[in-house]
Chains A and B, each alone.
Chain A
Amino acid sequence: EVVLTQSPGTLSLSPGERATLSCRASQSVSSRYIAWYQQKPGQAPRLLIYAASSRATGIPDRFSGSGSGTDFTLTISRLEPEDFAVYYCQHYGTSSWTFGQGTKVEIK
């Protein structure tokens, strides 16, 4: 089973700053099956990135994903007020899913 470890646990930044979130897998995985989500309180997770680097429909281009093997990154180029939320990475394999524990991006 793939274990995903996200870092940092909390990221304190100001609007306009760049956010870099990390997701490390316990074993090499296909980047085809790595996704990133944003979740705000009381809402369902919202898909941002799939296949490690493809933006989902309607997602602004300030969100980008990269990585391969065991190391994946979500970058928010310039934080907007609505971007302060919890972010999860996910491995959506053919027979199981795994989520990271989440990174909270909070206003500094």
Chain B
Amino acid sequence: QVQLAQSGSELKEPGASVKVSCKASGYTFTTYGMNWVRQAPGQGLEWMGWINTNTGNPTYAQDFTGRFVFSLDTSVSTAYLQISSLKAEDTAVYYCARGPAYWGQGTLVTVSS
């Protein structure tokens, strides 16, 4: 069965970087793109963009350019989201999603001094 297992919660100081992982299993990783979605506390869902797992080409939504980087390690069927120069407003749960039907469990990133 398709599963997306995300890395655990992170607590970071402002200005630091964080890398969230999303390990896929139960299907051929390079067949489907991987999306990233952000949910700030008490807020709705925001699509951040997606990465083509076949070519490695990322597409970023307008509000997620510059400090956000999607990457892959296809040898371990894993997608990554890296956020640099973290700000308090980056505090959120970050989800990976393979299409509408399959979502990771979410990773809480807290940015606080």
Contact = CB atoms under 8 A, between A and B. Distances in A.
Contacts of A45: 45, 95, 103
A97 B106 contact: no
B46 interface: yes
26 contacts: A35-B100, A37-B45, A37-B100, A39-B45, A44-B95, A44-B103, A44-B105, A45-B45, A45-B103, A47-B100, A50-B100, A50-B101, A57-B101, A88-B45, A92-B99, A96-B59, A97-B35, A97-B37, A97-B47, A99-B44, A99-B45, A99-B46, A99-B47, A100-B44, A101-B44, A102-B44
B98 to A, nearest CB: 11
A37 B44 CA distance: 12
B16 interface: no
Contacts of B47: 96-99
Contacts of A56: 101
Interface residues of A, number: 20
Given A44-B106, A50-B100, A92-B100, 8 more contacts: A37-B100, A47-B101, A92-B99, A95-B59, A96-B61, A97-B50, A101-B44, A102-B45
A56 B37 CA distance: 20
Contacts of B35: 97
Interface in B28-82: 35, 37, 44-47, 50, 59, 61
A57 B1 CA distance: 13
Nearest to B103: A44
| Interface majority SS (helix, strand, loop, mixed), chain A | strand
Interface of A: 35, 37, 39, 44-45, 47, 50, 56-57, 88, 90, 92, 95-102
Contacts of B95: 44-45
Nearest to B99: A92
A44 B104 contact: yes
B57 to A, nearest CB: 12
Nearest to B45: A99
Which of B44, B100, B106 lies at the interface centre, i.e. has the most chain A CB atoms within 10 A of its CB? Answer: B100
Nearest to B93: A44
